[in-house]
Amino acid sequence: MTELSPKASETLTRWLQDPSVDETTKEELKALTNDPKELEERFYRDLEFGTGGLRGVIGAGSNRMNRYTVGRATQGFADYILEQHTGENRPSVVIAHDSRRFSPEFTLEAALVLAGNGIETHLFPSLRSTPQLSFAVRHLQASGGIVITASHNPPEYNGYKVYNAQGGQLVPHEAEQVIANILEVDTFTGVNRMSREAAESAGLLHWLGADADEAFTDTVAAVSVSREEIAASLGRDFSIVYTPLHGTGNLPVRRVLEKIGFTQVHVVPEQEQPDSEFSTVKSPNPEEREAFTLAMKLGEELNADLLIGTDPDADRMGAVVRDNEGKFVVLSGNQSGALMIHYYLSRLQEQGKLPSNGAVVKTIVTSEMGAAVASHYGATVFNTLTGFKYIGEKMNQFEQSGEYTYLFGYEESYGYLAGNYARDKDAVLAAMLIAEAGAYYKAQGKTLYDVLQELYGQFGYFLESLESRTLKGKDGVAQIQGIMNDWRNSPPHEIAGASVTQVLDYSLGLDGLPKENVLKYLLSDGSWFCLRPSGTEPKIKVYFAVVGESLDHAKHKVAELTNQVMARVDGK
């Protein structure tokens, strides 16, 4: 133990000696006696509750996801709910979970801590999507929400996301209050917890039924802008292959597609059922082509028009379309976003339903192509920091002021939302919109790939790429900060043949946005790149965007820009 830092050693001793810690946890820690490096990683700090909640490797320790770290976070959130609550009725929280290891256990732990604080909880009896949780908070007029998920992280991870009464993830000023509360909570003596039996008999623990699912499905389907045409004929002539990647999307995506009239929906059988190991993929991430390997195989067999994939908590959607040679092409999040904005706004315009004060919201690392399309249809475009919570915050502002009508929000990382029913990205809604867009254009003799080429011809050949470097553990945190400091203190004057015209340091709180550790460099040829430490993974992400005179020209530009920037990031 002498090799451990004082903090890690002290915290480990407490976990081993405290009578409230279960024996299984203690045995797990004792088995690591001869691995001081692993013990240091588990105990050198408390698992950080960031603006997005908790996310970490599952295991025993203060820097791991387990019932004790979940309980402590929930106590801090319970204190926040009680501080905010002013109504006569009891405050309430909705909780959902995905298919990951210990998700049901962490869900129940959170519910019992809330019950121990006199807060009513509504639980889904089995896995549900993150957007359905956001919807349910609003639908049930709850005081807040929790979802147990680690999105598309590897199987060894789980996480804990917290929602406000509007159904959105906590924005910084809200999260800071919860974090302050958590820091006051002792992991073992400061958590109020009630037994399941006591919570249920006291009316503090409720299990949601099928009517909650039906309400969500109906609400999403109501956003459709071609429902009559899909139901009449288009839905019968359009073949879809869908993979939930072992997650929560399987039932809601199929229900919504069936409800609006799609009859040829084929689920990848090997990836249909929940699987906490995500055993058929390297990563359950629809941003990656490899995640679609089995879907492409089935798509070829069935001659499918469109492939759709959703991540484990069904808030991100990826789409695969056929190119001019009939080969499958994975759309980027920016491309799917531009296609859906064009389809959705053009259909609203054709139907005389496009409001004069419409707004489209995107993040600062999202392509300007969608913005150009939205502006073409008369919508005002707003930029936010990365994270759908900021898009949700804009939606709340529009709703309160009435100055703008929210139409569509999206981020390059495959998150989209149309409609006003939730405050988080929804892969169920996105699957419906991309499918009906595909069917609508097929009836005109076009593929989604054809429409994308038309948009390029009209608005410019926008192309983007993303690079990331995974730097784990205590050393990784320092490395990521070192990279950010290097670029912040010594910005380039020229790169990839273009001069740097502006450096946007969002840690200063630019454009009225919250302060965040993000650097964006604007170049004289209309290109840009952006460096951002991930808020949910041990990664630094670098985003690149160019506009070319042709697709080949854009590919050349983005490759050159990426190579030069990443050479410096990698210290070459």
Strand-by-strand arrangement of the 265-267 sheet: 265-267, 240-243, 306-310, 317-322, 328-330
276 labelled catalytic? no
Give me the sheet containing 92-97, strands edge to edge. Answer: 54-57, 157-163, 144-148, 92-97, 120-123, 205-207
Closest of 461, 486, 419 to residue 548, by C-alpha: 461
Active-site pick, 92, 151, 413, 527: 151
Judged by DSSP in three states, 531 sits in strand
Task: Tell me if 121 sits within 8 A of 200, measured CB to CB.
Answer: no
The CA-atom distances, in angstroms, between 183 and each of 75, 89, 107, 448 are 10, 28, 21, 50
Asked if 77 and 178 count as a contact pair (C-beta separation under 8 A), the reply is: yes
Please, what is the Cα angle at 48 between 42 and 52, to 5 degrees?
135
User: For residue 184, how many other CB atoms are within 10 A of its CB?
Assistant: 10
Angle at 110 between CA 428 and CA 388, to 5 degrees: 35
Long-range contacts of 516-522 (CB under 8 A, 24+ apart): 516/385, 516/386, 517/484, 518/364, 518/385, 518/386, 519/484, 519/487, 519/488, 520/364, 520/365, 521/491, 521/492, 521/495
Distance CA 417, CA 297 (A): 29
- Give the catalytic positions in this structure: 151
